[in-house]
Chains A and B, each alone.
Chain A
Amino acid sequence: EIVLTQSPGTLSLSPGERATLSCRASQSVSSSNLAWYQQKPGQAPRLLIYGASTRATGIPDRFSGSGSGTDFTLTISRLEPEDFAVYHCQQYGSSPPYTFGQGTKLEIK
């Protein structure tokens, strides 16, 4: 099983700042198989990025994804108030086919 470890667990920043979230895999993951989601309290996850760097439909361009192999990054260039949420990375592989990281909480400083 590929384990995804997200860091930091909590990130405290102010609106307008840049956020950098990390997702590290225990084994190499194909870039096409790495996704990021945003989840706000009481809401379902929302797909932000797939294929490590492709924004999903309707996602603002302040969100970007990068990385390869075992290290992937989600960057939010200028934080808006609505961006404060929990972010999950997810990979597709085998047995089990889908695993998620434990999440990074992005909170207002």
Chain B
Amino acid sequence: EVQLVESGGGLVQPGRSLRLSCAASGFTFDDYAMHWVRQAPGKGLEWVSGISKNSADIGYADSVKGRFTISRDNAKNSLYLQMNSLRPEDTALYYCAKRPPTFPAFDSWGQGTLVTVSS
């Protein structure tokens, strides 16, 4: 069974940093691109960042470019999101999601970790 378990969320002041992690199991992690998608309270879904299976290709939404860094450790079956210079508008539930190689959608999601940016 595919499992994606996010951690690292919490309450943080504007301008501070946070590092999210996503532990993967139940599939061959290094066969899949991985992504972060967020959802602000009561709002829709927003793609944040994605990384190819070998980390060669990385992309970011304009809203986080230059502040967030995605990475992965295939030996540890883990995905990360380093978030710097956090803003109140970054407040959201952050999901990690798995993207299969055969079609551009997200076929498994974690339960999310909540990031709240507030003074």
A residues apposed to B, CB below 8 Å: 32-33, 35, 37, 43-47, 50-51, 54, 56-57, 88, 90, 92, 96-103
B109 A44 Cβ-Cβ under 8 A: yes
Minimum Cβ distance to chain A for residue B113 (Å): 11
A50 interface neighbour in B37, B50, B105, B112, Cβ under 8 Å: B105
Hey, which chain B residues are within 8 Å of A56, CB to CB? 107
B104 A96 Cβ-Cβ under 8 A: no
Q: What 9 A-B pairs come out closest when comparing CB atoms? A: A92-B104, A35-B105, A98-B47, A44-B109, A100-B45, A50-B105, A102-B44, A50-B103, A47-B107
Minimum Cβ distance to chain A for residue B81 (Å): 16
Q: A51–B102 Cα gap in the complex (Å)?
A: 10
B105 A100 Cβ-Cβ under 8 A: no
A96 B47 Cβ-Cβ under 8 A: yes
- Tell me the number of A-to-B contacts counted with CB atoms below 8 Å: 61
Minimum Cβ distance to chain B for residue A46 (Å): 7
Asked if A96 meets B59 with Cβ closer than 8 Å, knowing A45-B106, A50-B103, A88-B45, the reply is: yes
A100 B109 Cβ-Cβ under 8 A: no
Asked if A90 meets B62 with Cβ closer than 8 Å, knowing A44-B95, A45-B109, the reply is: no
Minimum Cβ distance to chain B for residue A62 (Å): 20
With both beta carbons as reference points, the residue of chain B lying nearest to A93 in the complex is identified as B104
B73 in contact (CB, < 8 A): no
B105 A103 Cβ-Cβ under 8 A: no
Minimum Cβ distance to chain B for residue A100 (Å): 4
Minimum Cβ distance to chain B for residue A25 (Å): 14
B111 in contact (CB, < 8 A): yes
Q: A66–B13 Cα gap in the complex (Å)?
A: 45
Q: A47–B112 Cα gap in the complex (Å)?
A: 16
Q: Which of B76-119 contact A (CB under 8 A)?
A: 95, 103-112
